[in-house]
């Protein structure tokens, strides 16, 4: 059976990022995966209903009665629900396609798997992961970022 891999659409050159741009990565392995039809592109934020372009957003720690994480735009709008909806839609697509892993854009409040911005909109990264990554991990789907393609390949090989 084919090995499907979920991928952040912006990594395939789709202009879905908050700034309306893409970040096409010229990675031979990813090109190969794409040619083989292994890749399932998703943009959780767009699937959650957010427009392109959109305000940058970061995850902040909740306070008081709302200890869970929230996603706030730079202008102060709470977009947590859209991010959560996008994450759930992404999981549905992952399950429908029986993906064995995800290759998602680093540092994004949706897609980041190791680091995210700290919520102060000052460009500072902290350890943590995005809203979609949390949902995928909870479903047992391993998440790699675009700098971990060789790790992803090792993982795929281990799967046989």
Q: How far is the CB of 9 from ligand SF4 (least distance, A)?
A: 5
**DSSP state letters, 80-101:** HHHHHHHHHHHHHHHHHTT-SE
**Which of 84/108 has CB closer to ligand SF4?**
108
Q: How far is the CB of 42 from ligand SF4 (least distance, A)?
A: 6
Q: How far is the CB of 102 from ligand SF4 (least distance, A)?
A: 10
Give ∠ CA 125-51-15 in degrees, rounded to 5.
Answer: 70
Is residue 84 part of the contact set for ligand SF4 (CB under 6 A)?
no
Is residue 44 part of the contact set for ligand SF4 (CB under 6 A)?
yes
CA 63 to chain centre: 25
Rg over CA atoms, the chain: 15
Which of 43, 60, 94, 116 binds ligand SF4 (CB under 6 A)? It is: 43
Q: In DSSP terms, which residues pair with 127 in a beta bridge?
A: 115
Give the H/E segment covering residue 41.
Answer: strand 39-42
How big is the site for ligand SF4, counted in residues (CB under 6 A)? 12
Q: How far is the CB of 64 from ligand SF4 (least distance, A)?
A: 28
Q: How many residues does the chain have?
A: 160
Q: How far apart are CA 124 and CA 41, in angstroms?
A: 28
Is residue 10 part of the contact set for ligand SF4 (CB under 6 A)?
yes
**Which of 51/62 has CB closer to ligand SF4?**
51
Cα of first residue to Cα of last residue in the chain, in angstroms, is 11
Pattern of binders to ligand SF4 over 98-137, x per CB under 6 A?
Answer: -------x--x-xx--------------------------
> By the criterion CB under 6 A, which residues form the site for ligand SF4?
8-10, 16-17, 43-45, 105, 108, 110-111
């Amino acid at each position: 059976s084919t090995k499907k891999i979920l991928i952040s659409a912006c990594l395939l050159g789709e202009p879905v990022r908050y700034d309306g741009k893409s970040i096409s990565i010229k990675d031979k392995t990813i090109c190969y995966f794409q040619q083989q039809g292994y890749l399932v592109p998703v943009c959780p934020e767009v699937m959650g209903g957010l427009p392109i372009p959109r305000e940058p957003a970061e995850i902040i720690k909740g306070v008081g009665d709302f200890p869970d994480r929230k996603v706030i735009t730079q202008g102060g709008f709470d977009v947590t629900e859209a991010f959560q909806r996008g994450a759930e839609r992404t999981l549905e697509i992952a399950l429908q396609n029986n993906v064995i892993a995800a290759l998602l854009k680093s540092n994004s409040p949706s897609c980041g798997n190791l680091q995210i911005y700290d919520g102060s909109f000052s460009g500072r990264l902290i350890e943590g992961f995005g809203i979609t990554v949390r949902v995928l991990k909870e479903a047992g789907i391993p998440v790699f970022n675009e700098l971990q393609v060789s790790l992803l390949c090792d993982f795929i090989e281990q799967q046989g």
